[in-house]
Homo-oligomer: A and B are copies of this chain.
Amino acid sequence: MNPSRTDRSGYHHGDLANALTKAATELARTGGPEAVVLREAARQVGVSATAAYRHFAGHSELIHAVKEYALSRLGAAMQVELAATDPLPDPAEDAYRRLAALGRGYLNFAVAEPGLFRTAFCHADKPTFDSLDKDPNATEPYRLLSAVLDDLVAVGSLDLDRREYAETMAWSTVHGLALLMLEGPLQNLPQEVYDAVVNRLTAFVRDGLTTR
């Protein structure tokens, strides 16, 4: 009989990899990537530290698991914001609406889950150089952005000679603001200022991308 996921009766845990990832994720959520401590995760799961090595090559692989989870959560936050506003009749306006929604989702996630967000983009040892293309939901934020930009082209709002590097521009802007708010000089903005900055940013990106 397959032991239940949270069962910790016997010598074998049954789902240690997931349990460790979960504990490590909680550490990251509250303390950021530097709080992801292998021994602490094992301690919280109720297992010896070295047990983790049966499921992860080491600390960097554990933090990488959290990283992937955080990226998937980021993508989900963007999707949520995408669905939170009603479509607009004009297709061009609607494409802009979706672009702004993706940016808001990105920034809202960064502010709501700073620890996870920072972990999603923390500098970690390469995990045998396969992650970038392999994991489907790690690149989901990028795919979402690309799709909306393609729509902007299809709808005639974004000229083809400005299509190149458009992802890089939009992503840089939103990512930079997120980090300045989390680790930089824009920490702890009051809600009203935050809203104003985000609104200003959506107009900024729109104009920067599409205006001639």
Which residues of A come within 8 Å of B, CB atoms? 32, 34, 118, 121-123, 132, 142, 164-165, 168-169, 171-180, 182-186, 196-197, 200-201, 203-209, 211
Q: Which of B180, B185, B208 contacts A204 (CB 8 A)?
A: B208
9 CB-based A-B contacts, threshold 8 Å: A121-B179, A164-B200, A165-B196, A165-B200, A169-B200, A169-B204, A175-B179, A176-B177, A204-B208
What copy number does this chain have within its complex? Answer: 2
A173–B169 CB distance below 8 A? yes
CA distance A160 to B179 in the complex (A): 27
Is the pair B207, A211 in contact by a Cβ cutoff of 8 Å? Answer: yes
Contact B177 A123 (CB under 8 A): no
- Which chain B residue has the least Cβ–Cβ distance from A189? B168
Which residues of B have CB within 8 Å of A176? 171-179
When chains A and B are docked, how far (Å) is the Cα of A168 from the Cα of B121? 21
Closest to A114 in B: B123
Do B34 and A184 touch across chains, with their CB atoms under 8 A apart?
A: no
Closest CB pairs A-B (n = 7): A176-B176, A208-B208, A172-B176, A175-B176, A172-B177, A204-B208, A211-B211
A51 to chain B: closest CB distance in Å? 26
